[in-house]
Structure 1
Amino acid sequence: MNPKKRLEIFDRLAAAIPDPTTELNYNSAFELLIAVVLSAQATDKGVNKATAKLFPVANTPEDILALGENGLKEYIKTIGLYNSKATHIITLCRQLLEKHGGQVPQTREELEALAGVGRKTANVILNTAFGQHTIAVDTHIFRVANRTGIAPGKNVLEVERKLEKFVPKKHIKDAHHLLILHGRYTCIARKPRCPSCVIEDLCEYRHKTKYQDDAATEVKSRS
């Protein structure tokens, strides 16, 4: 795929998604960090439901440590893997207090040293909380990058490196969320919604769908 086509793709995505941001609810870098840790193998909707009760009670490392691991579990028990996530979050909070004065660090290395934080989570925090030009490759981005031909790769790190190299500079800050939201609502896993896709004519996917998905067809038939 050539640079001109990539630029057009991101221009169209940016026009179609004027507010590309996370769908996790948060009011501070620490809240975002906790929400992202909780979001592993869970939906943003499910995480938001839990944090809507947790954050008014505990939204600092000190507050969460005061809850204790069992107390924290009561707030997040509706989320998958909540036992291990509670253990990670308690350890993470101790690390923030002991090593960072209770503040969320702003480097990938320091973030990845925290319990429950991998490269993807670190990149999300750097990009969303601190405005750094990082791209966290989740399942949506990996799928979109490979399907469209924007940045094909065999693994998430390869895709991340290619995106960092190929995404047009003016879109690099928002590329992470543009691709996630496009993958979540249009370029979905089982049956991509190609007929309603704003980049359908630019996408290099060989197996494009020709008709709206069942949900779209049903809605249209009722109107």
Structure 2
Amino acid sequence: MAKLTRQLDYHAMREVFTRFHATDPEPLGELDHVNAYTLVVAVALSAQATDKGVNKATAELFKIAYTPQLMLELGEEGLIEHIKTIGLYRNKAKNVIKMAQILVDDYGGEVPNSRAALQSLPGVGRKTANVVLNMWWGQPAQAVDTHIFRLGNRSGIAPGRDVDAVERAIEDNVPADFQLHAHHWMILHGRYICVARKPKCQACQIRDLCLYEDKTE
């Protein structure tokens, strides 16, 4: 990135998230899941894949393999049959099976609720851990994906040279009462409005607050 957008001030930040809240008070993630375990698996599978693609692949999978033990019984080859439409499916299948074995052996088949423990699982990075902590346990963890990184830098909501810096900017600057849903609002806005190539600035509810200089007409 050639230059970083300056940071929105507190009053502008509060107005941004007030508008997001007014439009969608309880934003939800778009990955289908039935429990904490299937959420971890879905998020891990979503790396370099679309949520729609993952949901299509897991629609039948999560009917038969919704616990670590059931996933082990399905096995790697059986898992591959369900997820082979997803990018990097072979490596992901290996990680999901390894993860299931660790959860059974070390955690009694339960998904741990600490970031460190989650990140110790195969195929689970900080972003995946933060999604699970936020969506399942209601912790104000900020999972920064490409949509949030783009929106954060373009708009001035959370500028940063890498995802860690953007995560810190959200934690430091988004008003506390909006922290829980901050990353969902930003993901959805980045996915559907502040898109990569031609942002839909005319449809943007925060256009007057956004610091992006090259707004589309």
- Normalising by structure 1, we get a TM-score of 0.93
The whole-number CA distance in structure 2 between the counterparts of 1:29 and 1:76 is: 19
The CA distance in 1 between the partners of 2:86 and 2:64, in whole Å, is 18
Secondary structure of the 1:20 match is coil
- Counterpart secondary structure, 1:55: helix
Q: Does 1:12 align with 2:26?
A: no
Q: Which amino acid aligns with 2:42?
A: A
Q: Aligned pair 1:68/2:75, yes or no?
A: yes
- Give the count of matched residue pairs: 210
In the TM superposition, structure 1's runs of 4+ consecutive aligned residues that sit over 3 Å from their partners are none
Q: Does 1:98 align with 2:127?
A: no
Q: Is 1:109 the counterpart of 2:116 in the alignment? A: yes
**Selected match of 1:204 from 208, 211, 214:** 211
Q: Is 1:58 paired with 2:65?
A: yes
5+ unaligned residues in a row in structure 2: which ranges?
A: 1-7
Question: What CA distance in whole angstroms lies between the structure 2 residues aligned with 1:127 and 1:194?
Answer: 29
Return the alpha-carbon distance in structure 2 between the equivalents of residues 209 and 183 of structure 1.
15
Q: Give how far 1:99 is off.
A: 1.2
1:162 counterpart letter in structure 2: A
Given that residues 36 and 121 in structure 1 are in contact (C-alpha distance below 8 angstroms), is that contact kept between their aligned partners in structure 2? yes
How far has the Cα of 1:116 moved from its partner? 0.1
Please point out which of 126, 134, 148 is paired with 1:141: 148
Letter of the aligned partner of 1:120 in structure 2? K
Partner of 1:177: 184
> Residue in 2 aligned with 1:36?
43
Classify the secondary structure of the residue corresponding to 2:180.
coil
Cα offsets for 1:170-204 (capped at 9, x unmatched): 11000010000000000001010000100000000
Tell me if the contact between 1:16 and 1:198 (Cα under 8 Å) persists in the aligned partners: no
CA RMSD, Structure 1 to Structure 2 (Å): 0.7
Q: Which residue of 5, 9, 14 maps to 1:2?
A: 9
Gaps of 5+ in 1: 211-223
Q: Which residue does the alignment assign to 2:138?
A: 131
